[in-house]
Structure 1
Amino acid sequence: MSEHTGAEAPFYILAIETSCDETSAAIVENGSEVLASVISSQIETHKAFGGVVPEVASRKHVEVITVIVEEALRQAGLKPEQLDAVAVTQGPGLVGALLVGVVAAKSLALAWNKPLIGTHHIAGHIYANRLVAELKYPCLSLVVSGGHTELVSLEAEGEFRIIGRTRDDAVGEAYDKVARALGFPYPGGPHVDKLARESAEAAPLPRVWLEPESYDFSFSGLKSAVLNLVNQSRMKGLEPDAGAIARGFQESVVEVLVGKAIRAVRETGAQQLLLCGGVAANRGLRSALAERCSAEGIELIVPPPVYCTDNAAMIGAAAYVKWRRDGGTALDMVADAGLSLEEWSAGRH
């Protein structure tokens, strides 16, 4: 274990994130202070394809990973020998993209003789909240991203229990598919959010609550209802009312997300509600959740947008928690596209 393990001594983690289409490196001190954060986005590259192309994403990571790490060290004003550990997203994500980060992190850990910390991508999103506030346990996290929609209960630091998840599309996927139907380019979520906030009308669309006690989500039926509205309009020779459809869709999504999250906070006794993931940057969701939490007397923590989308600073925050609980990860660690959050937190990875 590093010499910097005292309660007040700084513990510097170089973190690497390459799970999808952002190449990112960050240096985080004691899991909460970001000394450097560098993000190279591939959005413009993938926009031409209407979504992320895994092989292209992997090649882009290879092209920039070295310079991204060097820039993070430069911004932080640190040399490799001053680091205490190297952390990397082990999973979930696109396996080819994950491999680039994992191989880079292993190489650096070996070359610099530093511990390696394999880190869970969703744990990173959750602990992005620790970059802006101290967490109080038990707490509850609403994870909303392109690939994940989950309610995660944290009984103690680093202990995750998924109490609800999507049964089909993640909310970010649903936003992108609706955006595509309305003629917006990838990524479509911000376009739908903006249009929804500007529209005076809302198309009537269903709310999918599932079983009365369930914390699970389902968005495929809502997505299909939107597609039906669009197709019906076009079959009549009319242009769909994109604003009304966007607002109706967003209101349906937000009402279900907020309703289930608030109920889960009450029933689990959580002291805080944490919002995280790429869709946490959605202004409609942020404002609705803030308004409801204020009315209910619930403490809400939301990271700034830069820490909602994929970034390495969040990986450094989660890695610090993992280090304190379990120490480092063996160098024979493998990238795992389907890595389980609960098994990872229990040390079974």
Structure 2
Amino acid sequence: MLVLGIETSCDETAVGVVEDRFTLRSNVIASQVELHAPYGGVVPEVAARAHLEALLPTIDRALVEAGCGLSDVDAVAVTSGPGLIGALLVGVSAAKGLALAHDKPLIGVNHLRAHVEVAQLEHGELEPPLAALVVSGGHTSIVALGEDGRFRQLGATIDDAAGEAFDKIARFLGLGYPGGPEIDRLARQGDPHAIAFPRAMRADPGYDVSLSGLKTAVVRYLRRLEAAGQEPDLADVAASFQEAIVDVQVDKTLRAAADQGLERVVLAGGVAANSRLRARFAEACGQAGLGLLVPSVPLCTDNGAMVAASGANLLAAGHLAPLELGVDPNLPLAG
């Protein structure tokens, strides 16, 4: 059973092919980083136009690498939300065209669910119940996957997502785009305990997080030094800022797992590629006796393989989409 997965929710044109739910046959990504770098963030209209240009060549390459043709594919899966509406429309329109032209089932996939389920390509069946932290440029959510196969959102950011905060502080520090990898690299040279940046809502009940205040605290710290004529140690700033984000995410996720009686944790999403976050989760889960599943770095960022994997699960469960499938920029994960 082969499923073709199409991902165009933000700034990566990505297509993957998965066989029998667990075997990755291909995973091709056409990056738009250079297009958006001059702006320090994703420009929605630029992203949508780039998807239009890149999608068909990316589909062709994914099929070649998978060693199959469209006639061999059993279903077409596509991200239908959440994401940028123009970008989503490009992928969904293409997927509907392929499904109609080749008489294949169409599957609408939730982008956040796909980030979690891509772990099955390297770790096998995801046995519920489990907790997952989905952390990316647009999302920071703590969710639970129940025995019934349904997701429940336990907590989320009330303002900035982690990836967004990384990008904004990286831009303020004069680093490159995307900001997450740049801060990660710089932080390895600094002291994560050098500056006591705030951990908002860390001790609050519930599992929501807030990063806007942390971002403001970093900016104010740098401006105070500038006013005093002092040069900041940017590596210490990056390390301390990163540590504050990691502390809250680790604490909240493990607390949710303990409170809900969940014995496994999945770390997912683009920010899950952050080396400090991965190391701290491994340490904390080990101490708490929790199993930890983390996709390899190439499968953390937006990719077509995750859409194909999630689509394969939905296909196996008989959850197909009509050709009238629309897009939802705010599609919730629950359900």
TM-score range, shorter chain: over 0.9
Which of structure 1's runs of 4+ aligned residues deviate more than 4 A? none
SS of equivalent to 1:265: helix
Residue by residue, what CA displacement relative to the aligned partner does 1:184-224 show, whole Å, maximum 9, x if unpaired? 12111111112222113621111112563210000001111
- Mean alpha-carbon deviation: is it higher for 302-311 or for 212-221? 212-221
Tell whether the 8 Å contact from 1:61 to 1:97 is kept in structure 2 after alignment.
Answer: yes
| Alignment match, 2:132 | 141
| Alignment match, 2:144 | 153
| Alignment match, 1:5 | none
Output the amino acid matched with 2:293.
Answer: I
Output aligned runs, 1:70-85, within 5 Å: 70-85=60-75
Unaligned ranges ≥5, structure 2: none
Q: Is 1:107 equivalent to 2:111 in the alignment?
A: no
Output aligned runs, 1:5-24, within 5 Å: 11-24=1-14
| Alignment match, 2:204 | 212
Output the amino acid matched with 1:270.
Answer: L
| Alignment match, 1:117 | 107
Q: Is 1:25 equivalent to 2:26 in the alignment?
A: no
CA RMSD of aligned residues (A): 1.3
Output the amino acid matched with 1:16.
Answer: I
Output the amino acid matched with 2:172.
Answer: A
SS of equivalent to 2:28: strand
Q: Is 1:185 equivalent to 2:184 in the alignment?
A: no
Output aligned runs, 1:247-258, within 5 Å: 247-258=239-250
- Deviation of 1:326 (Å): 4.0
Distance in 1 (CA, whole Å) between partners of 2:146 and 2:27 is: 29
Tell whether the 8 Å contact from 1:202 to 1:243 is kept in structure 2 after alignment.
Answer: no
| Alignment match, 1:245 | 237
Tell whether the 8 Å contact from 2:132 to 2:143 is kept in structure 1 after alignment.
Answer: yes
| Alignment match, 1:37 | 27
User: Of 288, 293, 304, which aligns to 2:296?
Assistant: 304
Distance in 2 (CA, whole Å) between partners of 1:277 and 1:308 is: 5
Distance in 2 (CA, whole Å) between partners of 1:256 and 1:79 is: 46
- Deviation of 1:138 (Å): 0.3
Output the amino acid matched with 1:77.
Answer: G
Tell whether the 8 Å contact from 1:202 to 1:246 is kept in structure 2 after alignment.
Answer: no
Tell whether the 8 Å contact from 2:158 to 2:208 is kept in structure 1 after alignment.
Answer: yes
Q: Is 1:319 equivalent to 2:311 in the alignment?
A: yes
User: Of 304, 320, 329, which aligns to 1:337?
Assistant: 329
Distance in 2 (CA, whole Å) between partners of 1:80 and 1:149 is: 35
Distance in 2 (CA, whole Å) between partners of 1:32 and 1:202 is: 44
User: Of 149, 153, 178, which aligns to 1:162?
Assistant: 153
SS of equivalent to 2:27: strand
Output the amino acid matched with 2:71.
Answer: E
Matched residue count: 333
Residue by residue, what CA displacement relative to the aligned partner does 1:253-280 show, whole Å, maximum 9, x if unpaired? 1111111111111111113100000000
Tell whether the 8 Å contact from 1:21 to 1:57 is kept in structure 2 after alignment.
Answer: yes
Tell whether the 8 Å contact from 2:160 to 2:210 is kept in structure 1 after alignment.
Answer: yes
- Mean alpha-carbon deviation: is it higher for 240-249 or for 122-131? 240-249
User: Of 191, 194, 201, which aligns to 1:202?
Assistant: 194
Output the amino acid matched with 2:220.
Answer: N
Seen in structure 2, the aligned counterparts of structure 1 residues 143 and 172 have a Cα distance that, compared at 3 Å, is same
State percent identity of aligned pairs: 47
- Mean alpha-carbon deviation: is it higher for 204-213 or for 264-273? 204-213
Unaligned ranges ≥5, structure 1: 1-10
Distance in 1 (CA, whole Å) between partners of 2:99 and 2:41 is: 33
Distance in 1 (CA, whole Å) between partners of 2:268 and 2:307 is: 13
SS of equivalent to 1:57: helix
- Deviation of 1:341 (Å): 1.5
SS of equivalent to 1:198: coil
Q: Is 1:232 equivalent to 2:215 in the alignment?
A: no
What TM-score, normalized by structure 2, do the two folds share? Answer: 0.96
Output the amino acid matched with 1:209.
Answer: M
| Alignment match, 1:7 | none
Distance in 2 (CA, whole Å) between partners of 1:210 and 1:273 is: 19
